[in-house]
Amino acid sequence: MTAKLIPHPMSAKRDLLASDGFLLSGNKQPEYQFNWHEHDCSMLLWVSAGSLESRWHGTQETVAANKALTGGTLISESQLTLQPGMALLLPAVTAHANRARTHQQQHGQLYLEPDLLRHCPVRGAFYLDAPARSMLATLTMPGLSPASRQQLVRALLPQLEHGHPVVFADSAETSIAQRLSQLIGAALDEGQRPPSLESMASVLGMSMRSLQRHCLQEFGCSPVQLRRHLIAQAATQMLDSGIRLAEASHQLGFSSSGHLSRLLSSVGKSS
């Protein structure tokens, strides 16, 4: 989708940044909506509850980063429904708009001096890994001291590099079922447990019922079965490479190695 890039109102934040270069903000407003605007600093936005539809104009920086990280199509305007566990990182002066897709929602925003992100390769939409989600949850806790908040932000920024980007595939060339498989595979390639099927359906702009139909038509199985099969396949490759069962279980997000063993057994693979 090609966007017509026009000037948008500037919501200036830079003068409000702390001496260490960041400003934390949060919003729980029901039926939240904020029309097109820009900031004079970088911004990290993440959803804690509900869902938030975000649209943003790609700058040369954001579209090039998306191309390099995902191999996807360059997009000058992007739209995505963010769910818990997903985030959006935008450079300064990037036009964007947000509105709640659920009546109740909660999201946070971390405004940052652009220099703080000069070594961070991630831009655009991506999935947060478990440590980053934990840091953001702690960052928004009331009563956190300024010194602790500063340390958390400094630790968070390099951790963002471990998130994996949302793949904007060319739907004319790649089917919905194949794109779901790619999303699952992208997480597994990073040694992470894939996001929930609900969040991936949202990324693909599908209802769970439609996603079920596409998977059955192309792969002859449900999205749940496809996800379980790909996780088992990745686990088997890890075990074959010499990684111990307990370590593979931990990397893939299982609470115990017994859970992974049962998954492998249920899909006909031996651990």
Give 182-230 pLDDT, tens digit per residue. 888 877 876 677 888 887 887 777 788 999 999 998 888 999 999 999 9
Q: What does pTM read for this prediction?
A: 0.59
Question: Residue 171: its pLDDT value, please?
Answer: 44
Question: Residue 123: its pLDDT value, please?
Answer: 78
111, pLDDT greater than 90 = yes
Assess if residue 3 is contained within a domain: no
What is the distance between the alpha carbons of residues 177 and 116, in angstroms, rounded to a whole number? 38
Question: Residue 45: its pLDDT value, please?
Answer: 95
**Range(s) of the domain holding residue 131:** 14-144+153-165
Are 53 and 96 in a shared domain? yes
Question: Residue 20: its pLDDT value, please?
Answer: 77
Whichever domain contains 66, its CATH number is: 2.60.120.10
Is 49 in a helix, a strand, or coil? strand
Q: What is the mean pLDDT of residues 133-145?
A: 91
Mean pLDDT (the chain) is: 80
Higher pLDDT, 9 or 38: 38
Number of domains in the chain: 2
Are 71 and 191 in a shared domain? no
Please answer whether residues 193 and 259 qualify as being in contact, where contact means their C-beta atoms are separated by less than 8 angstroms.
no
Structure tokens at 7: 């000037």
169, pLDDT greater than 70 = no
Q: What is the mean pLDDT of residues 4-21?
A: 73
64, pLDDT greater than 80 = no
Is 6 in a helix, a strand, or coil? coil
Residues 20-57: tens digit of each pLDDT: 789 999 898 888 888 888 988 999 999 988 888 888 88
Assess if residue 9 is contained within a domain: no
CA angle 267, 218, 168 (to 5 degrees): 100
**Model confidence band, residue 7 (pLDDT cutoffs 50, 70, 90):** low
Whichever domain contains 260, its CATH number is: 1.10.10.60
172, pLDDT greater than 70 = no
Instruction: Work out the percent of the chain whose per-residue pLDDT is above 90.
Output: 19
Please answer whether residues 160 and 201 qualify as being in contact, where contact means their C-beta atoms are separated by less than 8 angstroms.
no
Are 54 and 138 in a shared domain? yes
For 21, residues 6+ apart whose C-beta sits below 8 A from its C-beta are 112, 113, 115, 116
Are 159 and 34 in a shared domain? yes
